[in-house]
Amino acid sequence: MVLPQGGGSDRGRRRLVLLVLTAITLLSLDLSGFGPIGAAQRWVRDLLHPITEVAGFVASPFANTWNAIFDYDDLAAERDQLREELDNALGAQLAAEAERAAFRRLLEATEITYLPTIPTVTATVVRTAVGNFDEHVITIDKGTNHGIRPGMAVVTGAGLVGRVERVDAITASVQLLSDANLVIGVRLAATDEVGLGHTLPDDGRTFVIDRGLEWPEGEDGSLLPALDSVVVTAASSRYPAEIPLGRITDVYLDPDNDIAMIVEVELATDVRDLSYVTVLLASGVDQVPLEPTPSTSIPLDIEVPQDPESDR
């Protein structure tokens, strides 16, 4: 008997086919509780595990490519939807933060804990100080229709901001405290002394009281106003008394006058960053004070004719 060529390989293939068919037969049997068949099924699964792993590894790139081609539109749409939802969430968060910031600024301008008996009007700053010509002037969205008149004090919850300079029916311009030409009568809360002051020309946050204060006699430093003590408007000023200006940061002898005292004050309000302000609807003395006078009460409801030249 002559064996055909390649008989060994044919026998190997036949054995492999027989093994596969046997495995399929065993795996398809469902003889629950029959131990030998179950053991045979486990043996076949273990035997074929490497083959299935290799087949899955080889086929996975093709499956991934297939999914990438035919599921691309769905994935792109899902990505765009997620991106839109993220943008909406971020936008809502920023809007909420902006609203909280605006509300905080509004409270800072309207929570007036001093002078509670004086009526007020809250206004929005619609034009800030710009340029060199009007760098110390802002415009607010309230005017004569709301009871505002020239010379009225403009404040925030922290203290004095400036004074109403010019008024129209629905708007008004405000001369800011940062203008060194704006002279304010003030009182030192620590010593009850009164004087006149203004901001430094090159520093809108520092207020200098350089008129009306005398250096105490002797070397007793306790007679000097205490640092960090409060400075407010005096009753003899053009504004209602007791409006806060700020706190004392330095006290020194005037180099040009050996009996005069100079007091520096850090203003409580940064007039360069205003969104809302409050106007005190009370008119006092409108003339620019030439010398400080004793702190006496002035009726706040007395209208004094305005001298246009006195504002300069």
Confidence of residue 298 (pLDDT cuts 50, 70, 90): very low
- Whether the per-residue pLDDT at 231 is higher than 80: the answer is yes
- Whether the per-residue pLDDT at 271 is higher than 80: the answer is yes
C-alpha to C-alpha distance for 28 and 22, rounded to whole angstroms: 10
**Domains located in the chain, CATH noted:** 7-70 (no CATH), 117-312 (2.40.10.340)
**Percent of the chain clearing pLDDT 70 (strictly above):** 59
Q: At 19, list the tokens.
A: 């093994």
Mean pLDDT for 156-173 is 94
First to last CA, the chain: 134
Neighbours of 28 (CB within 10 A): 8
C-alpha to C-alpha distance for 101 and 307, rounded to whole angstroms: 40
Least-confidence region, from 2-6, 254-258, 272-276, 296-300: 296-300
Average pLDDT in the chain = 76
Neighbours of 217 (CB within 10 A): 8
Q: What is the pLDDT of residues 10-32, one digit of tens each?
A: 666 666 666 666 655 655 555 44
pLDDT score for 52: 52
> Among residues 117, 287, 291, which one has the least CA distance to residue 211?
291
> To which residue do tokens 């007395």 refer?
302
* 287 or 168: which leads in pLDDT: 168
pLDDT score for 135: 84
Q: What is the pLDDT of residues 73-121, one digit of tens each?
A: 677 777 777 777 777 776 666 666 656 666 566 677 778 888 889 999 9
- Whether the per-residue pLDDT at 68 is higher than 80: the answer is no
Confidence of residue 216 (pLDDT cuts 50, 70, 90): confident
pLDDT score for 42: 61
